Amino acid sequence: MNMTNAEDILNREIARVNLHLPALRPTLSQLLAEEEPSVKLRDGSYHYFRRSELEYLRDLVDDDEPERLKVPIVLEISTLHRGYFRVRGRVEVKVIDKILGTYSILEEKDEELYPRYLLPRIRRVLPTTTTYAFIAE
């Protein structure tokens, strides 16, 4: 088997395990405006968000940020950073930092790597508004 075949197989497998991801990620503002906040997933099914969780997220961010916070927040599990997961997006990183108690107003970042052992802590607080994505790099 040549490398391109192996790569194709790996990419197809990663796409398969990521079928639970949303086709599009709406903003927190959009979801709060919905009667039944939900998102269509890549596999065609729907994922529903807990309103209380969305309101908790709104309380964590500044007044202008619900328009910029994409939900669900994606926790990226990468082949490149073993033992870590990545979060991308300034407001998304801010939310995760606040939950972990590591947020600093002086050091806002567009992406951050976190030790993987912190995943359960985040998922306990945000079970419906976070999701995993598996990435080969």
Residue 110 has a pLDDT of 96
8 A C-beta contact, residue 77 and residue 132: yes
Question: What pLDDT does residue 2 have?
Answer: 64
Place of tokens 């990419």: 11
> Distance between CA 62 and CA 8 in Å, rounded?
42
Residue 1's pLDDT is what? Answer: 56
pLDDT digits (tens, 9 = 90+) for 85-98: 999 999 999 999 99
Instruction: Give phi and psi for 55, each to the nearest 5.
Output: -65, -35
Residue-range definition of the domain harbouring residue 130 = 5-135
Average pLDDT for runs of 10 along the chain of length 137: 76 86 96 98 96 98 97 94 95 98 93 97 98 89
Structural domains in the chain (count): 1
